[in-house]
Amino acid sequence: MNHDTYADAYLKRVLNDTKTVAMVGASPNWNRPSYFVMKYLQVKGYKVYPVNPRAVDETILDEPVYASLADLPETVDMVDIFRASAAAGPITDEAIAHGAKSVWMQLTVRNDEAAERAEAAGLNVVMDRCPKIEFARLNGELSWNGVNSRVISSKRRKLA
């Protein structure tokens, strides 16, 4: 597969076939991208398990944090990787052993060797993309991008 571009149908199929997500590298800090993506995916109906060995005794968005994929209470459909490209290799190998259907590497995360191993094991692979952004784009949703927030407006402010 060419990982420089993805057909919309492929991305939509991966997202539609996913009900459960393990977010590896999830942060308990509300101002980190992983926190916002996790919240978005939860609102969209996904069950998201945060995985971060440095935050094991914490909860993120009311979900207990797990140290690894092996510790999860169920096999997830997608492993969303919020870690550096070098770390994506071992995490992908864990996803294969775990039995996930898909590996999704976040923006700026790309590991072609890991992608080859995952695809050889029958997993779908997406690299250098964000499931939140792709979900919104593919479903014509702009509200989470600020359009319906009343923060962004095309109207001029009235001067007092």
Q: How far is CA 52 from CA 22, 49, 76, 106, 113, in A?
A: 10, 10, 16, 16, 23
Under CATH, which number does the domain 11-139 receive?
Answer: 3.40.50.720
Task: Give backbone dihedrals phi and psi of 58, rounded to 5 degrees, phi first.
Answer: -110, 175
Per residue in 63-120, pLDDT (tens digit) is 999 999 999 999 999 999 999 999 999 999 999 999 999 999 999 999 999 999 999 9
Q: Name the token pair of 157.
A: 């402010």
Stated pTM of the model: 0.87
